[in-house]
Structure 1
Amino acid sequence: MPRIRADDYDAKQRAILDNAAALFAAVGYPNAKMLEIAKVCGATKSMLYHYFATKDDLLFALLSEHLERLIADADDVLDAAGPAEGRFTRFVELYVRKSAESRQRHVSAMNDAKFLPAPLQARIHDLEAQVVARVAALLRPLKPGLGDDLYKPYALLLLGMLNWTDYWYDPAGRIPPDDLRDRISGLFLAGFLAAAPG
C-alpha cells in the first residue's frame, strides 16, 4: 500500500475518518462493523468500500492521517524563527488545539493501533517515532548538553502528558485551552530546565 499523506485526503474522506473515530470510541474498534460505519457517515456501504477496502484500511488511514498532521505541525514549529521556548509553547498550543478538535482520533491512536495487522502497525509505529524525534529536536535547544540519550525520554514524557489530557480535559470547562497550554508548558519546562546534565 503506498504511503498516503495527510494532504491527500479530501473533505469526504476526512468526514468518514472522523465519524469512524467517533464510532470506535463509542463501541470499540473490534465491535464496529463496516455497515455501522457507513450508517454513521450517511454513506452507502459501497461508497465506503470505494474509499477503504477493509476496516483495517480505514483505521490505518485514520491513524496515519492524524500522525502525519502532527508531524507537519511539528515541522512548522521547528522551522519557525524565534526563541526555543516560544517554539515549544507554540507546539503545546497546537497539540492542545488538535486534541480539542480531534479527541476521538487521539483516543483511537492510543487504543486501536494494536488491532492492525503487524505490517500496518509497524508503519504507524514509524510515524509515532517521527513525532517523538521531532519533539526531542524541539527540546534540544531549550537545554543543550543534557545528554543525547535523555531527549527522547523527555519527549515521551511530554507527549504522555499531552495525550492523556484527551481522557479528562473539557475545552468548555473551567480551564480554557490557552490556560491549559500555559499550565502544561510551565509544569513541563520547570522540571525539564532543572534537569541535571546527562
Structure 2
Amino acid sequence: MARPQALDYEDRKRAILKNAAILFAKKGYSETLLEDIAEISGIKKSSLYHYHRSKHAILHGLIAWKIEDLAWKVEAATEALRAPEQQLRALIATLVKEYIRVPEEITVLLTQTRYLTKPALRSVGEIQERIIRRAVVIIQDLRPDQEISRHKLKALSMMLFGMTNWIHVWFKPNGQMDADTLVDMILQIFLKGIDGLDPDFLN
C-alpha cells in the first residue's frame, strides 16, 4: 500500500525547495549534498525521498516552480492594464521586487540551470517563454507605428531582462534608493531608448 500523503505535503515539498535554494545559492549545486538539504529542512535524508526523488529533481523542481511563479505574477500584473507603458512598468516592477524579495531563488535560477538535464531544460524553457512572449507583445505595442521584426523584438526583450536580472546582487533594500525609484529608472531608460530607435533599424 502506498504511503498516504500528509495534508501539508505540498507545503513541506515547497519548503524543501526554498531551503535548497539557500544552499544552492551559497555553495553551488555540485557542492550541496542531500544531507545538507535534509539538515536545513529539519528532516532525515531518507524522508527527502518522500518529497523529491533526487537532488536533480530538487533543482529542477525549484527552477520550474520559480519560473512558473514569475510567469504567473507577470501575467497577473499586466493583464488588467491597457496602456503598454503601464504594462511595461508592471512587468519591470514584478521582476525587480521579486528578485529583491527572494535573492537566493533568483541566484539559482540565473546560475544553476547548467546542471539540468536537456529534457529538464526544455521544460523550464517552455515556461520561461511565457514571460518573454509577454515582453515581446508589450514592446511591439509601445511602437504601434512600426512593425518590428521578430528577432529584434526578442533581442529588445532580452535587453530589458538584462537590466533587471542581476539587481538582487547589488541592490540594497535599505539603501538610498527604493525599489519603486529603481523600477521607474529602468522604465524611463527603456521607453526613451525604444522611442528613439530609427524605424529603418527595427525591420
TM-score under structure 1 length normalisation: 0.89
What are the Cα deviations for residues 43-68 of structure 1, in whole angstroms up to 9, with x where unaligned? Answer: 22122211110011100110011111
- AA aligned opposite 2:86: G
**Residue 5 of structure 1 corresponds to which residue in structure 2?**
none
Q: Following the alignment from structure 1 to structure 2, what is the Cα–Cα distance between the partners of residues 143 and 42?
A: 53
Deviation, structure 1 residue 81:
3.1
Alignment of 1:88-99 (within 5 A): 88-99=88-99
Q: Following the alignment from structure 1 to structure 2, what is the Cα–Cα distance between the partners of residues 41 and 63?
A: 18
**Residue 13 of structure 1 corresponds to which residue in structure 2?**
13
Q: Following the alignment from structure 2 to structure 1, what is the Cα–Cα distance between the partners of residues 164 and 86?
A: 17
**Residue 4 of structure 1 corresponds to which residue in structure 2?**
none
- AA aligned opposite 1:159: F
What are the Cα deviations for residues 154-182 of structure 1, in whole angstroms up to 9, with x where unaligned? Answer: 11001111111122112222211111111
- AA aligned opposite 1:115: Y
Q: Which stretches of structure 1, 4 residues or longer, exceed 6 Å deviation after superposition?
A: none
Query: What 5-or-longer segments of structure 1 have no aligned partner?
Result: 1-8
**Residue 132 of structure 1 corresponds to which residue in structure 2?**
132
**Residue 103 of structure 1 corresponds to which residue in structure 2?**
103
Q: What is the root-mean-square deviation in Å for CA atoms of aligned residues?
A: 1.6
Bigger Rg, structure 1 or 2: 2
Q: 1:157 aligned to 2:154? A: no
Q: Following the alignment from structure 2 to structure 1, what is the Cα–Cα distance between the partners of residues 172 and 17?
A: 22
Deviation, structure 1 residue 146:
4.3
Contact 2:84 / 2:138 at 8 angstroms: preserved in 1?
yes
Q: Following the alignment from structure 2 to structure 1, what is the Cα–Cα distance between the partners of residues 48 and 19?
A: 12
Q: Following the alignment from structure 1 to structure 2, what is the Cα–Cα distance between the partners of residues 101 and 78?
A: 20
Q: Following the alignment from structure 1 to structure 2, what is the Cα–Cα distance between the partners of residues 172 and 70?
A: 24
**Residue 196 of structure 1 corresponds to which residue in structure 2?**
198
What are the Cα deviations for residues 72-102 of structure 1, in whole angstroms up to 9, with x where unaligned? Answer: 1222234213311111111111111111112
What are the Cα deviations for residues 1-48 of structure 1, in whole angstroms up to 9, with x where unaligned? Answer: xxxxxxxx9332222111111101111110101110111122221222
Q: Following the alignment from structure 2 to structure 1, what is the Cα–Cα distance between the partners of residues 64 and 75?
A: 16
**Residue 115 of structure 1 corresponds to which residue in structure 2?**
115
SS at match of 1:50: coil
The change in CA–CA distance for 1:176 and 1:78 in structure 2 (over 3 A counts) is: closer
Q: 1:87 aligned to 2:83? A: no
Number of residues paired by the alignment?
190
The change in CA–CA distance for 1:160 and 1:136 in structure 2 (over 3 A counts) is: same
